[in-house]
Amino acid sequence: MRLLATTNGGLESVTSAELAELVGADPERHHRGVVALEGTRDDVHDLHVRSRTCHRLLEVLVDGRVAKLEDVYRLTRRVDLAGHLPEEPFGVVGTRHGDHGFTSMDVAERVGQAVIDGYREATGERLPVDLDDPTVRLEAYLYDDRFTLAVDLTGDSLHRRPYRECEHDAPLRATLAYSLLRVAGYGADDRLVDPMAGSATIPIEAALAATDRPPRPDLDPALAALPRYDPVRFRRRRATHEPRSPSLDVEARERRAKWLRCARVNVEAAGLEGVVDVVEADAREATLAADCVVTNLPFGVRTAEDLRELYGAFADRVREGSVDRLVALTTRPDLLPLAVEERYDVPYGRLDVSVVVAEP
Ligand SMILES: C[S@@+](CC[C@H](N)C(=O)[O-])C[C@H]1O[C@@H](n2cnc3c(N)ncnc32)[C@H](O)[C@@H]1O
């Protein structure tokens, strides 16, 4: 069956590589922040246990070309709606890009009407609509003339990790943190240092990945409500998944006492006490020796001059030290005085950020 996986825009290639590694898929970019792949129901189960870059997984119900709004209704009516959907409240989220004479709300409304009409024709029942907290969420994407309708299998986004008990002022999305580690080629044998770790999202994601622990052990995925899925099988697969326990060398450094405390709370919540070291250090001064340095540089120290000074001193420590690979997330790659080998531009909330692979 055809699946979609949603992820951080700009990092679709990183998610594709993860999906290939986890379930042998050969994904392609569907549009920004979304990749498409072929997979089985057990692939869906396994990805909900192990994927660290995906936000949601969806099953495609329609993927076709449309010339006018009514085609959205017509294509949705062709779906075996009673076979795919339970008799539970549903909602449609519409996303539209391109030149159309109607809005994404119009797309969502026509899909919703087709679902109600098709389900009633098949079962005699009228499906209730709940736009605020639906049991079944449908995503309707219209990109130019390509219309894709998919049912959400995940529910609560996978990027919300349960170890985040202490929230940083500028927290990094955990899926993005893990993507930076993949870009750096981090593996369990590597010594990893995040010199400006804040609440330790990057070191925690590294240690969870290296030990193959499920990132969302608490997840109760939306697929449990769908007729073609089996929540018992999902839970069984999750219960039989075996983490590894290699010895790791992962360090979270931070200058401020407040964030050092926060990092320790999260490391403990992740069950990684004694695995991730939380160390007080100033990145402008502390020497660096690591296979991988992966960090989320501060975006907004008061002025560009402060950032220039911080980035400059950090780059000096990188050059003087022994660092094999360096990956940094920043809004100001121009202020980092290191040669950039590779760069991914990622819209992040209202900010444009870049993932840079720099030559140490
Ligand atoms: C963007 S935040 C990192 C957030 C982190 N990725 C998270 O998810 O919690 C940058 C961190 O760098 C720290 N920092 C700034 N200057 C530093 C320095 N000279 N040495 C060490 N840490 C520093 C800040 O206190 C802040 O916690």
What was the pLDDT predicted at 302?
61
State the CB neighbour count (10 A cutoff) for residue 137: 21
43 CB-near residues (< 8 Å, 6+ apart): 3, 23, 25
Average pLDDT on 257-277 reads 98
| Ligand 1: nearest atom to the Cα of 283 | 20
List domains and CATH numbers for the chain: 2-152 (3.30.2130.30), 174-212+240-358 (3.40.50.150)
Q: How far apart are CA 38 and CA 197, in angstroms?
A: 37
284-322 pLDDT, tens digit each: 999 999 999 999 999 876 666 789 999 999 999 999 999
| Cα 343 to ligand 1 centroid, rounded to whole Å | 21
Predicted confidence (pLDDT) at residue 48 exceeds the cutoff of 80: yes
61-77 pLDDT, tens digit each: 999 999 999 999 999 99
Mean pLDDT of the chain: 96
| Ligand 1: nearest atom to the Cα of 198 | 27
| Ligand 1: nearest atom to the Cα of 171 | 8
Q: What is the largest CA-CA distance in the chain?
A: 73
Average pLDDT on 338-342 reads 96
129 CB-near residues (< 8 Å, 6+ apart): 89, 90, 91, 112, 116
Average pLDDT on 25-46 reads 97
Contact indicator for 32, 2 with CB cutoff of 8 Å: no
φ, ψ for residue 351, nearest 5 deg: -100, 150
Q: Pick the closest to residue 130 from 184, 79, 87 (CA basis).
A: 87
What was the pLDDT predicted at 348?
85
Predicted confidence (pLDDT) at residue 359 exceeds the cutoff of 70: yes
The token duo for 122 is 């098949």
What was the pLDDT predicted at 269?
98
* Ligand 1 surroundings by CB, under 6 angstroms: 168, 170-172, 196, 198-199, 201-202, 254-256, 259, 282-284, 296, 298, 310
Average pLDDT on 4-27 reads 97
Contact indicator for 75, 149 with CB cutoff of 8 Å: yes
Q: Distance from first CA to last CA of the chain, Å, rounded? A: 44
CA distances from 94 to 33, 69, 149, 277 (A): 15, 13, 9, 44
- Per the listing, tokens 């990805």 go with 47
